[in-house]
Amino acid sequence: MKLKTLMAVTASAAALMTSAAMADTTLNALFMSQAAYSEDNIKSMTASFEAANPGTKVDLEFVPYEALHDKIIAASGAGDDGYDVVLFDVIWPAEFAERGFLTDVSDRVAADLTSKIFDGAWTTVEYDGKRYGMPWILDTKYLYYNTEILANAGIETPPETWAEVLEQAKVIKDKGLVEYPLVWSWSQSEAMICDFTTLTAAHGGSFFDDGKPAFETGGAKAALDYMKTSLGDGLTNPSSLEYFEEDVRRVFSAGDAAFAMNWTYMNSLVNDPNESKVAGKVGVMSAPGVDGVSEASAVNGSMGLGIPSNSPHADQAWAFINHLTNQSTQEEFANLSLPIWKASYSQSAVTDGQEDLVAAADKSIAVMYPRPLVASYTEVSSILQKHLHGSLLDQTTSEEALANAAKRVARIR
């Protein structure tokens, strides 16, 4: 009797579980926990997706940007237990596509989207004429300045060239307004390469020419010299060599810097009185150019959402990606990350309260410069990181550093 009851209970429990499993799909999604959309943003976007799609649940995982690439690779061998949606950086599609880590979604993207989304955003997900996801975070680094410090220094207009940035910084330092007017994220990391790329673009340089390193001379060398000069003259905060983006935000928010380079997300956070002592005293503009070479400079720091090739739920994953990237979702959460949609930039939901950011974006998006689009990018970047960092630490001259890096890049297998 007892045994029968037990069996009946077990059987019905098993039946329940099976039907639950049939009805529900759980998507595993991987995001990063810094810059761009906040974790709270992504959680509420996900909640509205789940509400509209009963039967699909999304498990979110957040990791630091520095762990994102290796996490995606490590999960590629996990079969059905890997991720269904991953956030990936503009520098990885070449590698991920060549090795088959991401699903080719060219056929899933509606044809009319091509012209509605910025070209710079599309390059984030494209490789060899195919699309490996949807662009999501259209981002570049802007120059932020403290309007109060500039006013106290008697500076009426923010700098129009990188040379002027140093001149104004010198005035500010000489007047004793802050000890180090400039702050950057120059730790040995991708964050430093982004600033280096911006400066290289401003000075008209390039990374590769015909597959061969071209960064030993010209604009790239000028960029490194600029970085070294700003450190040597005591204008750049020397702790920048240990900083990531969040450190830059903290120093700038404390009023300890007059100029800072950072992504879109910093604009709303430095203007939030709960997060910042300089709220309301912040200007944001496109990174400037170099006299006679460029008007403005920017690095393409966009990111996209893709479906790993081992995902067993590609259709549901694509629905989730569409929900995150669609125009209305992006306009609702436009204060930490600007939309990929051209039409959004005339919507008051996006522009209200951040007119100067949108104006800067307009200028920057047009000149966004890519980091090298090669399958071995990760290795190229870590070689550059080592040698640039060594040179910024005054261990080598800029010539030596770039020549050593080029030699090492030529040795990549």
Partner 1 sequence: MSAISRSREKWVLLFPAILVLSLITVLPFLQTVWTSFTDAEITAREQQVNWIGLENYIWALTDPDFLEALGRTMYFTVVSVGLEGVLGIAVALLLNQKFRGRWFLRVIIILPWAVPTIVNAVAWRLIYHPDYGALNSLLLQLGFIDSYTSWLGDPDRALNMVILADVWKNFPLVAYIALAAMQTIPGDLLKAAAIEGAGAWKRFHSITLPWIIGPMLVVLILRTIEAFRVFDIIYVMTRGGPSDGTKTASFYVYQEYFSYLRSGSGASYAVVVAGISAVLILAYYAGIRRDQRGA
Q: Which stretch binds partner 1 (CB under 8 A): 119-127, 208-216, 275-283, 379-387?
A: 379-387
Q: Can you tell me which of 241, 293, 319, 366 binds partner 1, judged by CB under 8 A?
A: 241
Name the residue nearer to partner 1 (CB basis): 103 or 267.
103
Strand 282-288 with 142-146, pairing: antiparallel
Q: Which stretch binds partner 1 (CB under 8 A): 41-49, 131-139, 268-276, 383-391?
A: 383-391
Contacts of partner 1 in 113-152 (CB under 8 A): none
Name the residue nearer to partner 1 (CB basis): 15 or 78.
78
CB of residue 308 vs partner 1: minimum separation in angstroms?
8
Name the residue nearer to partner 1 (CB basis): 123 or 391.
391
At 280 the three-state DSSP class reads: coil
Size of the site for partner 1 (CB under 8 A): 34
Name the residue nearer to partner 1 (CB basis): 48 or 395.
395
CB of residue 115 vs partner 1: minimum separation in angstroms?
32
Contact between 277 and partner 1 (CB under 8 A)? no
Q: Can you tell me which of 242, 315, 362, 400 binds partner 1, judged by CB under 8 A?
A: 242
Contact between 101 and partner 1 (CB under 8 A)? yes
Residue type, 167: E
CB of residue 66 vs partner 1: minimum separation in angstroms?
7
Q: How far is CA 340 from CA 69, 70, 187, in A?
A: 22, 26, 29
Contact between 255 and partner 1 (CB under 8 A)? no
Inter-residue long-range contacts of 188-191, CB under 8 Å, 24+ positions, other chains counted = 188/385, 188/386, 188/389, 189/66, 189/244, 189/385, 190/65, 190/66, 190/89, 190/91, 190/381, 190/385, 191/243, 191/244, 191/245
CB of residue 387 vs partner 1: minimum separation in angstroms?
8
Contact 364, 294 (CB under 8 A): no
Contact between 310 and partner 1 (CB under 8 A)? yes
Contact 380, 397 (CB under 8 A): no
Q: How far apart are the first and last CA of the chain?
A: 71
Name the residue nearer to partner 1 (CB basis): 101 or 145.
101
Instruction: Write down the number of H helices and E strands in the chain.
Output: 18, 15
CB of residue 173 vs partner 1: minimum separation in angstroms?
16
Residue with the two structure tokens 């909640």: 47
Q: What is the pattern of x (binds partner 1, CB under 8 A) and - over residues 182-221?
A: -----xxx--------------------------------
Contact 392, 228 (CB under 8 A): yes
Q: Which stretch binds partner 1 (CB under 8 A): 4-12, 108-116, 141-149, 233-241?
A: 233-241
Contact between 239 and partner 1 (CB under 8 A)? yes
Of 163, 118, 95, which Cα lies nearest the Cα of 371?
95
Maximum distance among all alpha carbons in the chain?
93
Contact 301, 292 (CB under 8 A): no
**How far apart, in whole angstroms, are the C-alpha atoms of residue 364 and residue 139?**
9
CB of residue 395 vs partner 1: minimum separation in angstroms?
6
Residue with the two structure tokens 């996801």: 133
CB of residue 219 vs partner 1: minimum separation in angstroms?
23
Name the residue nearer to partner 1 (CB basis): 218 or 390.
390
- Tokens matching residue 306: 């893709």
Q: Any residues with CB less than 8 A from the CB of 238 and at least 6 apart, and which?
A: 180, 231
Q: Can you tell me which of 44, 147, 322, 382 binds partner 1, judged by CB under 8 A?
A: 382
Contact between 180 and partner 1 (CB under 8 A)? no
Beta bridge partners of 56: 25
Strand 296-299 with 368-369, pairing: parallel
Contacts of partner 1 in 55-74 (CB under 8 A): 66, 69-70, 73-74
- Tokens matching residue 380: 């190229």
**How far apart, in whole angstroms, are the C-alpha atoms of residue 276 and residue 292?**
37
Residues that bind partner 1 (CB under 8 A): 66, 69-70, 73-74, 76-77, 95, 99-101, 187-189, 238-239, 241-242, 251, 309-310, 376, 378-379, 382, 385-387, 389-390, 393, 395, 408, 413
